[in-house]
Amino acid sequence: MPELPEVETVVRTLNKTIKNKVIKEMNFFYKKILQNTTEQTIKRTLENQKIEKISRKSKFIIFEFNEYVMISHLRMEGKWFYYPNLETIPSKHTEVQIIFEDNTQLMYFDTRKFGTIHLFKQDEYEHVDLIAKLGPEAISKNWTAKNLYDKLQKKKTAVKTVLLDQTIIAGLGNIYVNEVLFECKILPTRPANEISIEECQNIINNSQIILQKAIEYGGTTVKSFQSSEDNKGGYQQFLKVHFNEKKPCKNCGNSVTKMFVNGRGTYICVVCQK
């Protein structure tokens, strides 16, 4: 499901619904979701503990407890839904059920089973590769044109592929990178080392504008993205090229083309993007 705006939306929703709740019981129906721990260990560690807050690092959701953090990555289709009572019971694609002391609950669903959960000590997680290797956040002020330019200079692959590399820049995914490159009038297939410093500045500016706006609208609902069961994203209406194959380009009216770059669906206007 999620790129940075969708994950941010989920985190905001979770802070409204489950912050300060104490876990009574955790159930894992798909145990392979646990990457660096076991069902027995995570239950022993987190049951009876309070979720102090939920934060985000790039596309990772961080459930913060007193001494530990549980880190969830939704990958393509993961969803955390809150239910105010116990009437909803786990179903076919429920992988995790967290029941709180007040008999409310949180469930994790993931049809494709790509999502992951890690358990770390609170004071160690920022230093593990998973988190430490991430590049600057696409919406942070620390991301400068010079910084991006220097990184792109070292790569000969398609600029789109490099922008999707989370160790270069964290938070862009396939939808928004397509939108950003369209807005910048840059062909996704251009070799990264041929992107000028002015174009780097343009990529940064447009990434920040697009991601911020997507956050305001609660993300983009593709198929089933929802931050909660009754809350769908609203950014789809602003997509200019993604999902717009054969529709007229919003700038010039030429038909939007779909192609593949490094195996990912890529939407462009061949007239506007150079």
Q: Which residues bind DNA (CB under 7 A)?
A: 1-3, 6, 32, 58-59, 73, 75-77, 92-93, 111-114, 130, 154-158, 161, 164, 166, 173-175, 219-225, 233, 262-265
Nearer to DNA, 253 or 263 (CB): 263
d(CA 29, CA 79): 15
DSSP H or E stretch at residue 207: helix 197-216
- What's the min distance (Å) between Cβ of 40 and DNA? 20
Q: What span, in angstroms and rounded, lies between the C-alpha atoms of 105 and 82?
A: 6
Q: Closer to DNA by CB, 21 or 242: give it.
A: 242
Neighbouring residues of 8: CB distance < 8 A, sequence distance ≥ 6? 56, 215, 219
Pairwise CA distance, residues 67 & 190, whole Å:
46
Please say which residue, 3 or 183, places its beta carbon nearer to DNA. Answer: 3
Q: Is 103 left (phi over 0), alpha (psi -120 to 50) or beta?
A: left
69 SS3 class = strand
Could you give the residue numbers annotated as active site?
Answer: 2-3, 59, 264
Q: What angle do the packed helices 197-216 and 4-17 form, to 10 degrees?
A: 30
CB of 30 to DNA, least distance (A): 9
If the CB atoms of residues 82 and 109 are measured against DNA, the closer one turns out to be 109
Q: Which is nearer to DNA, 23 or 261 (CB)?
A: 261
To DNA, the closest distance from the beta carbon of 264 in angstroms equals 5
CB of residue 249 vs DNA: minimum separation in angstroms? 19
Smallest distance, Å, CB 74 to DNA? 8
For 52, counting Cβ atoms within 10 Å of its Cβ (0-12 exposed, 13-18 middle, 19+ buried), the class is middle
DSSP 124-189: TGGGSHHHHT---BTTSTT--HHHHHHHHHT--SBHHHHHT-TTTSBS--HHHHHHHHHHTT--TT
